[in-house]
Each structure stands twice: as C-alpha cells, then as structure tokens.
Amino acid sequence: MPQNYEITTQRGRCQSGKTTLACQMGFLHATQGSKVVVITLLFSGYSTLAKGGLELLLQQIVETMASEKPGMLIIDGFRSVRTSTPSNLVLSEFLHSLNSLVSTMACTTFILSPVEGNITDSENTLVDGVIKLGQHAQGMRLIREMQVFKISGANHLLGKHVFEVKENGVVVYPRIEAVRTHSTGSQEASGEHISTGIPTWDCRIGGGVTKGSITCLLGSPGVGKTIMGLHFLKDGLDKQEICLIVGFRESPSALLLKSKRVGLEFEPAMRDRHLNIMWKRLLKFLLMILQRAFLQTSKSVV
C-alpha cells in the first residue's frame, strides 16, 4: 500500500478495474472510521473544470477538503484534466499545488487516469506511485493484470500480476516466482532427492527425483502415468508435505475413486487440506473441435 499522504496514479483502459479498486480501498478506510471524498471529473467535477479550468477545480478541491477533512481523496476521470490543459507546465503547477494540499491536509490521494503505460506525463513524474491496470484476451478468457511501476519508499514486486474482480471485491494473485524471489532471494541447488513413492523406480533413477526439479512422465493412455503420480503424492503426504493435483480430464471424485482401486486413500488428506485438487475442464479446446467439425460439415453440405 502507498504510504500516508502520498499521491498515487492508477492508469489503465476503460473497464480495467480502476474505479472498482479505488472504491474498494475507499470503503475499507471508511469502515475503519476515516472520511473518504470522491471527486469524479466525469460528472460533478466536470462542470467546474469546464467553467473555470484547473484553477477553479483546484479551488473546489481546497474548499471540499477544508470542509470535509478527509483521510483519503479519490479523483476519477483525470483524463479530463489533461485534455483541458493548455500545456504541460500548467498541469505540473496543478499537480504541485495538489501535492502541497494533500501533504498539508494529511490526505492519501488516488488519481484514476484511463491512459496506458509508464509514460513521462506530469501525473506520473510528480506523484509518489504509479499503478497500471490492464486486460488482454487469452484464448476465450479475458485476463486482468496489475503492474506497479513506482511506489516511493517501497520495495514492490516488479512485473505483471493477475487480479480478478469478484463479488467481494478485487483479489490480486502475485506471481509465485516474484514472491519467492522477493522474500528469499536466489537459492542454491541442494542435490537432495525426493522419493517417487515406488522404491524400485527410485533405484532406477539414482534414489528419486531431485528436489525442486521438474520431471515429465511420458507414455500412451492407460500405461499408468496417473497411478505413478498418485504414488508420488502419497509418499509426500506420508511425510506431511502439502500436495496439489492439477488436472484437466478426470474430475476430483473420479481421481479419488481411481486411487482407492489401487489401495491409495486420499480423502483424509483432502479433509485436513494437506491435499488440494485443482480441476479445469478443457472447454476451450472442446469448443474449437466442435467449431471445426461444424465448418467441415457446412463445407461438405455446400
């Protein structure tokens, strides 16, 4: 989070989640007893800006903050300020005045601007934080991303991080490798071996697989890849490891039934959360196959 009394810019295209994220932060501070003021330049503040420019807008902000004494200020639709500004110098003067105001009033401020990228605009160089929200299509899904370009006095995680807008608000999923590197730094290879759960297999590969490595098990359908993987998980659970199964074909119930048939019991581990199953159907590929079949049928009919 930005430190107290700073100005942070949230940039991104329309519908990228800027207003939702800002409102979530505002509601959080309001529930904690802090007063929050939202000035939208799309509606209420636009008439002031159109009538008297940045000077009258700044006067309105000063009067509002003097009367309300908020702990947080959110300015939405900042592009209206940029498009109405005759020069970068005038915009810089406005931001300098706003900076002095929020510092004096001890008010943390967020500016929402529907502009892409970490460009050298005044609202980027003269603020304490720059956060970009974006979204892109990946197959049939729309992925939302957050990227922190600048947070003064903070050792923030670089790169892009996925986030979702859910019923209970915005949820951010920092990249695992970024969190791991940020918290622990680089790690030396230990050379330790992890058992596959099948002793005779361990003997064939020198005592097991190397800890922290990735091993690809290849084979035709039905040769036993899944069963061997389940043995590997069972050995980890017996050693009190937290285990995860990521599957794209068999459902969790089908997988648990298969494990029982070979004498492996996973339901207790599921109940105590030592074992988690993440199951995703490959609906996208099924739709592509159906679409391709439909197109081929249509061509043959013609």
Name every residue whose Cβ is closer than 8 Å to that of residue 299 and which is 6 or more positions away in sequence.
Answer: none
CA 139 remoteness from chain centre: 18
Output the 3-class SS for 103-171.
Answer: HHCCCEEEEEECCCCCCCCHHHHCCCEEEEEEEEEECCEEEEEEEEEEECCCCCCCCEEEEEEECCEEE
pLDDT at 302: 43
Name every residue whose Cβ is closer than 8 Å to that of residue 172 and which is 6 or more positions away in sequence.
Answer: 146, 161, 162, 163
pLDDT at 213: 86
pLDDT at 157: 82
Inter-residue contact 63 to 73 (CB < 8 Å): no
> Do you know the residue count of the chain?
302
71: DSSP letter: S
Torsion sign over Cα 264, 268, 271, 272: negative
In 3-state terms the chain splits into helix, strand, coil percentages (rounded to 5) of 40, 25, 35
Domains of the chain plus CATH, in order, are 7-183 (3.40.50.300), 218-283 (no CATH)
pLDDT per residue as tens, the chain (302 positions):
555 556 777 766 667 888 889 989 999 999 999 999 999 887 767 788 888 888 898 999 999 999 999 999 999 988 888 787 777 888 888 888 998 999 899 999 999 987 655 555 666 777 888 888 988 887 777 889 998 888 887 778 888 888 988 888 889 988 876 666 666 555 566 678 999 999 999 999 989 999 888 899 999 988 999 999 999 999 999 999 999 998 888 888 988 999 999 999 999 999 999 999 988 776 555 555 566 666 665 555 44
β-strand pairing of 7-12 with 108-113: parallel
Which of 76, 63, 97 lies closest to 25 in space, CA to CA? 76
Q: Residue 172 and residue 169: Cα distance in Å, rounded?
A: 10
Q: Which segments of 219-282 does DSSP mark as H helices, in order? A: 225-238, 252-261, 267-271
Inter-residue contact 217 to 229 (CB < 8 Å): yes
pTM exceeds 0.75, yes or no? no
